[in-house]
Amino acid sequence: MIGPLVGVLFDGFAYGMLLFLLSVGLSVTLGMMNFVNLAHCSFAMLGGYVTVSLMNDLGWPFFATLPLAFLAAAAVSVVLERVLYRRLYRASDLDQCLLTIGIVFVSVASAAYIYGTVQQPVQMPDYLQGSFVVMGVNIAVYRLFLVGAALAITLILVAGLEYTRFGAQVRAAVDNQRMARGLGINVGGVFAVTFALGSGLAGLGGSLAIAIVGLDPSFAFTYLIYVLIVVSTGGLGSIGGSFVAAALLGISDVAGKYYVPQLGSFLIYLVMLGMLMWRPAGLFGKR
Amino acid sequence: MAETLLALHDVRAGYGDAVVLDNVTLEVPAHGSLAVLGRNGVGKSTLLLTIMGHTSLSRGAIVWRGENISRLASHLRPRRGLGWVAQEREIFSSLSVEENLTVAARPGRWNLKAVFELFPRLAERRQSKGNHLSGGEQQMLAMARSLMINPSLLLLDEPLEGLAPIIVEQLTGAIRRMAIEEGTAIILVEHHADIALTLTENAIVLERGTIVYRSGSRELLDNHALLDRFIGLKLAESADTPPAFSGQPG
């Protein structure tokens, strides 16, 4: 009785961590820079395709592809940020939505043109496959790895934003751009690096996610709604909030599908509604 | 003769197409000090914003140590040695006092220890968030934060506005120490004209964005008729009587 329940909780938590890995970059760019980047999952998809290409075409080991997935997404985002995004930092939310949803369409079409519309096969290394049993609970190795990766990224991000001078400059630039410039902070540079970091994290999240959710050109649209749910229910700009929201949403989604199959995939939206009615600014949001 | 730190030549500036300053020419030497006086809305704050690169400059030149910085990006001007204390203080609310001070700090004689000596109250509140400070504490933090970039010239925009007399006294002492003892050049925009004129060597008066009077600060302080005409300041006492504050270092 307890074993299956704990197993469902673990699987749900691992799925939540997958959502967190996909969404944490958006928490940084949307929450801290106030930029509505609907193309966030396009960067995640790019990371997934980088990993698939390097593994399947060039025979790279899985872990070696992860830094490249991060860097590729970050590099593409820097180009887009310098060429397109920065022009809309002070634009309305609608303008930002229209630009970034356009980028999603372009990315989906590009992926379909290059890779076709089929799911990409991906073979994880042996040591990340299979499962083991602990006290009657079946633990999938890859899901355990996802949980560890999410925890490590959370710690690094929180430490980086809260305890470094660069993190303070990011927060200062978000608080008051004019004053930040008046003190000599290169606000444009800080935002560009922050945007690259957020997009790189999306690329990394995409690489880590494809083993569980698969990869095809619809990825950029399919997971967009989930990352928006996580960031909005967690509270804009709160990495800890995104972590908690992702965990709750992941657990409720998996548990719902297991125990209340009639509701199926709809339960995650009900949970979101309930959480936002309880705390409209999100779990840890301030605005 | 002291090196000219900052010079404005025939500056016309404003916001978008709206011209606020016109035909403004002035110089500030190293270790010098200048009071900028005038009634509300004559362009005093715009003058400081223009020097910092936050307005549209449509004519003239801003020269810093011989270099034309008219087109220099605003974030590069503090790195040249220009410090700015904004009128609204503009404290970073999500940063602690210590983070506000160190976020853009540059090497020099002003460091955490020195600004905490200047403003002991900030040392007591070093872990408090910026939005949890009183108005006086915020003004101290705004001044200390600008000092932490170790400027050669500090632009102060109404640093005493809306503060309790005891805080005004502390801040006046701090400005005096910065300007006179430490030799930091200052441009001081201040409604308390009597105080501003005792803290500075020279003064200008703005009307409708143009300099209409310039002289030594003492000379203007002694001329009650001009003070009344330009800024509506009526000094009852003799000019020999010191203004009603004691500028002890805070």
Q: What is the ipTM of this complex?
A: 0.87
In a domain, B241, yes or no: no
In a domain, B248, yes or no: no
Interface membership of B94 toward A (CB under 8 Å): yes
Give me the pLDDT at residue B121, please: 92
Chain B closest CA to A236's CA: distance in Å? Answer: 14
Interface membership of A287 toward B (CB under 8 Å): no
Interface membership of B74 toward A (CB under 8 Å): yes
Determine the residue of chain B that is closest to A173 in CA distance: B92
Condensed to tens digits (0 to 9), the pLDDT of residues A60-94 reads: 999 999 999 999 999 999 999 989 988 888 889 99
Interface membership of B106 toward A (CB under 8 Å): yes
Condensed to tens digits (0 to 9), the pLDDT of residues A136-192 reads: 888 899 999 999 998 998 899 889 988 999 999 998 988 888 999 999 999 989 988
CB contact under 8 A, A182 and B92: no
In a domain, B237, yes or no: no
Q: Closest partner residue to B149 among A172, A175, A184, by Cβ?
A: A184
CA distance A193 to B232: 51
Eight-class DSSP state of B181: I
**Residue whose structure tokens are 């804009």:** A236
Give me the pLDDT at residue B151, please: 94
**Range(s) of the domain holding residue B166:** 4-231
Residues above pLDDT 90, as percent of chain B? 66
Helix (H) / strand (E) containing A159? helix A141-163
Eight-class DSSP state of B72: S
Upper half-sphere CA count for residue B94 (Cβ side, 13 Å): 18
Give the distance from CA B35 to its chain's centroid. 8
Give me the pLDDT at residue B26, please: 95
Q: Which long-range contacts (CB under 8 A, 24 or more apart) does A223-226 make?
A: A223/A22, A223/A41, A223/A44, A224/A38, A224/A40, A224/A41, A224/A104, A226/A19, A226/A22, A226/A23, A226/A268
Query: Which residue, A26, A68, A82, A48, is CA-closest to A199?
Result: A26
Domains of chain A: 2-278 (1.10.3470)
Q: Closest partner residue to B103 among A169, A174, A181, by Cβ?
A: A169
Confidence of residue B1 (pLDDT cuts 50, 70, 90): low
For B194, residues 6+ apart whose C-beta sits below 8 A from its C-beta are B221, B233, B235, B243
In a domain, B143, yes or no: yes
**Residue whose structure tokens are 């400027």:** B151
Give me the pLDDT at residue B227, please: 83
Q: How many domains does chain B have?
A: 1
Give me the pLDDT at residue B84, please: 95
Q: What is the mean pLDDT of residues B170-182?
A: 87
Query: Which domain CATH number covers B212?
Result: 3.40.50.300
Q: Closest partner residue to A179 among B90, B94, B149, by Cβ?
A: B90
Does the pLDDT at position B171 exceed 80? yes
Condensed to tens digits (0 to 9), the pLDDT of residues A189-232 reads: 998 898 899 899 999 999 999 998 899 999 999 999 999 999 99
Determine the residue of chain A that is closest to B84 in CA distance: A182
Helix axes A2-33, A187-213, angle to 10 degrees: 150
Residues above pLDDT 70, as percent of chain B? 92
Does the pLDDT at position B242 exceed 70? no
Q: What is the mean pLDDT of residues B106-131?
A: 91
CA distances from B98 to B90, B105, B121, B141 (A): 15, 11, 12, 9
Q: What is the mean pLDDT of residues B35-53?
A: 93
Q: What is the mean pLDDT of residues A111-124?
A: 92
Mean per-residue pLDDT of chain B: 88
